[in-house]
Chains A and B, each alone.
Chain A
Amino acid sequence: MFAHLIQDPAAVKNYIENPASGKAVETDYFGQLTSLASTFDHVDNLFYFTYAVCIFFFVLITGVLAWTVVVHRRKTYDQPAASNTTHNTPLEVVWTVVPLIIVMVMFAWGFKGSLDMMTVPADARMYKASAKQWNWTFSYPNSVAQSYGELWLEVDKPAAFLLESTDVLHAFFMPSQRIKRDIVPGRYQTVWCQPTVLGEFHLFCAEYCGDDHSKMYAKVHVVSAEEYAKKPWDVWKDDTPANQIASAQKLYSALCSSCHTVNGTQLVGPSWTGLFVKDASGKIVGGQREVHVGGAAGPKQTITVDDAYIIESIKLPEAKKVVGFEAAAMTAFDLPENKVKGLIAYMMSLADSK
């Protein structure tokens, strides 16, 4: 009954073989925050100002406590208190007014900073980030290609993101840029940043979104203007049969691999091996699958896998559910036609491996 809660060794193997890591977190001078790679330095400044104030009050409180506990420890059972003062009006006014002034400074500073973070500059490039369980798709201004689980930004150039979700809440979180914004299905949200450091950075989903929330990851490449002009995301293009399969393989890693393996082990969803097989003459043909037609409760039927079945399963996962995976809830993917074709070609290429 609880077997599905226990970790599957196949998932660990899959995780180790497909690590989600970009580069190691480099910390700033004080070792507390991730090193800043954006123009939002007011976040770090206010963080450290508040931090210093906190340390001051913490040392004050614990210092006073420690001193009095040591000195005025009760040594005999009938020892009375050394002082019975219950009021000191000047002191009470001071410890009400001084913290009030300090927190009002923090409030104003923080509010000003957040206005900066909410005001998208006019010259910002507008990207689109589509979130769904559990992956990211990015679209670029003036470019047809989309990238999956990978994003390229130009250094020192403001980048704004139009955020959309097609299923549940997600959040767009780039620690190195200090930005985060919840992505609410049914609404568009906007967030912006200006990367200042070349390198590879993390993009996390920060709002809990279901089973593979922790694997909803994208790697952000911040590149120079020359590099950016070459449109590095074109590696996701699939204009020739050869790079069609290579591109589909990348797509598989980004979108599909957290639920489907290509080596026969079963994760949340069925493995892709056996979708297509080779017949006696070596020709690739569709394999057999037992499915529920019309949803998990529907009648069982054995079908022969073909392009139509694959396309349907990507766009309408509930239409035919594989027997044994009734509980798995796959989200629908609205992929461009050439991407779907590429994935089918990739699935067919797996027929060789068996």
Chain B
Amino acid sequence: MSTNVPAVDLHAAPTGERPKNYLNCTTSFMSWAGTLDHKRIGLMYLVGVSIAFLCGGVFALLVRIHLWEPHGMLFSNSGYNQLFTLHGAFMVFLFVIPAIPASLGNMVLPLMLGAKDVALPRLNLLSFYLWVGGAAFATYSIAAGGFDTGWTFYTPYSLYTNKAVVSIGLGIFLLGFSSIFTGLNFIVTTHKLRAPGMTWFRMPLFIWALYATAILQVLATPVLGITVLLVAFERLYHIGIFDPRLGGDPVLFEHFFWFYSHPAVYIMVLPAFGIISEMVSVHSRKPLFGYKLIAFSSLAIAVISFLVWGHHMFTSGQSTYAMFAFSFLTFFVAIPTAIKQFSWVATVWKGSIALNSPMLYTLAFLIIFAIGGLTGIILGALNVDIHLHDTYFVVAHFHYVMMGSIALAFFAGLHHWWPKMFGIMYNETLAKIAAVTIFIGFNATFVPQFIMGSQGMPRRYATYVPEYAPYHQASTIGAIILGSGVALMVFYLLASLFTGKKAMVNQWGGVTLDWHTPTPPPLENFETPPVVTHEVYDYSTLDVETTRTPLR
């Protein structure tokens, strides 16, 4: 089989003039747009998901500003509904799901495995263009009248509304395939392209996490694809699957939707767990505590997460037996997650703890994820969930996981691998200020939402009864602080590309294979194929002086 032809001829005789690195080896537009190099594709993904994140963030700020007054400040009710839908859809489908695997994962996974590229580079490029296609459909849907269904597209409302549901549905269909292809690629790469000596238990935990994620992507995403297609068919041809007026069942849609979207939560969060596992080890200069337990807990979560989707539907009128099983399994999935959290803390414990910006984001993650995870336990209890379901308590809970944990892990990884990717270091002082600002702003935004949620404030409300106003206003102030922290981050990261100083050869003192290549890496990653002889995270092999040697 000759399907996985790499970007350049691997067997070309080495000449005196090797290209310097993957960024500057070729410069034409087509050398980027048609590249098969995993690092360039990862970089293009990084640009794409960052734009999606910033759009989603602007939508979120507009939502928060609108809610300053009980009767709303800026938008008609219909306008508000479209806005929160856009915020959710952009953040979930265009940012959180692809963000870590497709950008940082793409960039780092072959490096960590000691491979030249992913196993299927053309599929990798196709995956990127499917993402672009999905993003184009999503943007087109805004121009074609917007969509106001919430990111969940619950039927029958999504069948009756006169908005552009079909086009955003097709966008999600494409994004789903993008996600499946990335997952497929990572599974094959992990199985086939590990460097000699890289046994399964010498793989960095980021790889384990991406591998578990990839299994979920490949198995769960097709269900979403089928579901959005059925909604599109239902809208276009009235086939009567979800529409009660035609004998369909709206609850069936909820089952289909959450059968994907609950595992999707772990598609989003497992890569974040992987990054955090790397961060706590490198920046504490200490091997991970309970390596195997963390690796297996990723797989355990991947399996159990398929069986808990019904906890999104405790108020939909499921049978008592279904409620029993879903609640039980929901509590059960908390255990592997708790094991990870405890293991991370134990890794940091008595390490050599560097308080640099990736570590600040990591510490923020550990605190925020503790809250996000623990409030999930509150929601797992059946009788309590009946009160809290569809209130701001749920909104705050999943933002602690989606934004506070996943986005912060993404930021940690971005700051960690930024010097690796570009050979350039950003302004660390500004980075620390931004990390603290984001942490404060985030908590100020969502703690008030926990309180008003437990007092009964329903979600997705364009207007609200006036007694919730103080909480909404506190939350809006928090959102503005959070937004300014993110703006500062965007500023110094972009500024570093123009004015930044050279990074160190091994900026943080990492010992995984990604730090065993030149920085930035050459086109095919390794000048000589690496052979792994040590356990992963063996810091006795670290040459500390490299952490103080600037790049030439």
Contact of B460 among A116, A184, A208 (CB under 8 A): A208
Whether A11 lies near B76 (C-beta < 8 A) is yes
A210–B458 touching, CB < 8 Å: no
Interface window among B43-51, B220-228, B244-252, B524-532: B244-252
Q: Is B491 an interface residue (CB 8 A)?
A: no
Chain B's nearest CB lies how many Å from the CB of A23? 9
Take A58-B371, A181-B315 as given contacts and tell me if A81 and B350 are in contact as well, using a CB distance cutoff of 8 Å.
Answer: yes
Query: Of all chain B residues, which has the CB nearest A69?
Result: B353
CB < 8 Å: which of A2, A81, A109 contacts B285? A81
Stretch binding the partner chain, chosen from B93-101, B180-188, B264-272, B328-336: B328-336
A68 touches B331 (CB 8 A): no
**Residues from chain A with Cβ under 8 Å of B285 in the complex:** 74, 79-81
Contact, CB under 8 Å: B72 / A65: no
Chain B residue with Cβ nearest A258: B77
A83-B350 contact, Cβ under 8 Å, with A65-B363, A107-B381, A214-B461: yes
Across the interface, do B458 and A206 meet the contact criterion of CB distance under 8 Å? yes
Which residues on A sit within 8 Å (CB–CB) of B352? 72, 74, 79-82
Is B79 part of the binding interface, using a Cβ–Cβ cutoff of 8 Å? yes
A74 touches B355 (CB 8 A): yes
Question: Once the chains bind, are A114 and B456 in contact (CB under 8 Å)?
Answer: no
**5 tightest Cβ-Cβ pairs between the two chains A and B:** A175-B456, A5-B79, A113-B383, A110-B381, A186-B244
Cβ of B71 and Cβ of A25 under 8 Å apart?
no
Q: Are B156 and A106 in contact (CB under 8 A)?
A: no
Map CB proximity to A onto B312-349 as digits: 1 under 8 Å, 0 otherwise.
Answer: 00111100100110011001101100110110011011
A107 to B323, CA, bound (A): 11
Contact bitstring B271-288, A, C-beta under 8 A = 1, else 0: 000000000000011111
Q: Please, which residue of chain A has its CB at the minimum distance from the CB of B367?
A: A62
Chain B 451-475, CB-CB to A under 8 Å as 1, else 0, gives 1001110111111111110000000
Pick the interface stretch among B385-393, B408-416, B419-427, B494-502: B385-393
Q: Which of B82, B317, B381 contacts A182 (CB 8 A)?
A: B317
C-alpha gap A81/B461 in the complex (Å):
50
CB of B442 closer than 8 Å to a CB of A = no
**Bound: A25/B355 CA distance, A:** 43
In-complex Cβ contact of B375 among A15, A54, A73 (8 A) = A54
Please measure, in the bound complex, the distance between the C-alpha atom of A43 and the C-alpha atom of B263, giving whole angstroms: 28
Residues of A in contact with B (beta carbons under 8 Å apart): 2, 4-8, 11-12, 15-16, 19-22, 24-25, 27, 31-34, 40, 42-43, 46-47, 50-51, 53-54, 57-58, 61-62, 64-65, 68-69, 72-74, 77-88, 91-92, 95-96, 99-100, 103-104, 106-107, 109-111, 113-118, 167-169, 171, 173, 175-176, 178-182, 184-187, 189, 202, 204-215, 217, 268, 327, 329
In the complex, are the beta carbons of B157 and A209 less than 8 A apart? Answer: yes
* Bound Cα distance from A116 to B331, whole angstroms: 20
Complex interface residues of chain B between 519 and 552 (CB less than 8 A to chain A): 539, 544, 547-548
Q: How far is the CA of A85 from the CA of B150 in the complex (A)?
A: 47
A to B contact number (C-beta, < 8 Å): 315
Chain B residues whose C-beta falls within 8 Å of the C-beta of A217 in the assembled complex: 465
Is the beta-carbon distance between A204 and B363 smaller than 8 angstroms?
Answer: no
Of B18-26, B118-126, B206-214, B289-297, the stretch lying at the interface with chain A is B289-297
Bound Cα distance A126, B301 (Å) = 44
A116–B146 Cα gap in the complex (Å)? Answer: 43
What chain A residues lie within 8 Å of B249 (beta carbons)?
A: 186
Question: Least Cβ distance of B69 to chain A in Å?
Answer: 8
Known contacts A6-B74, A62-B370, A204-B456; decide if A84 and B331 are in contact (CB<8 Å): no
* CB–CB A181/B317 < 8 A: yes
Residues of B within 8 A of A215 (CB): 77, 463
Report the minimum CB–CB distance from A126 to chain B (whole Å). 17
Are the CB atoms of B381 and A4 closer together than 8 Å? no
Closest chain-A Cβ to B90's Cβ sits at a distance in Å of: 16
Given A5-B79, A7-B74, A106-B380, are A187 and B317 also a contact pair (CB < 8 Å)?
yes
Q: Which of A5, A31, A96, A181 has most chain B Cβ within 10 Å? A: A5
In the complex, the answer to whether A185 meets B390 with C-beta atoms within 8 Å is: no
- Contact between A213 and B462, CB atoms less than 8 A apart: yes
Residue of A nearest to B369 (CB): A61
CB pair A57–B370 under 8 Å, yes or no, is: yes
B354 proximal to A (CB < 8 A): yes
B42 CB → nearest A CB, Å:
30
B161 at the interface (CB under 8 A from A): yes
Contact with A along B79-121 (1 / 0, CB 8 A): 1011100000000000000000000000000000000000000
Q: Is B366 an interface residue (CB 8 A)?
A: yes
Chain A to chain B contacts (Cβ below 8 Å), 28 pairs: A4-B78, A6-B79, A43-B387, A47-B381, A53-B377, A54-B371, A57-B370, A57-B374, A58-B374, A61-B342, A64-B345, A69-B348, A73-B355, A83-B351, A86-B287, A87-B289, A88-B289, A91-B346, A104-B331, A110-B327, A113-B382, A114-B314, A179-B387, A180-B387, A207-B390, A211-B77, A212-B77, A215-B77
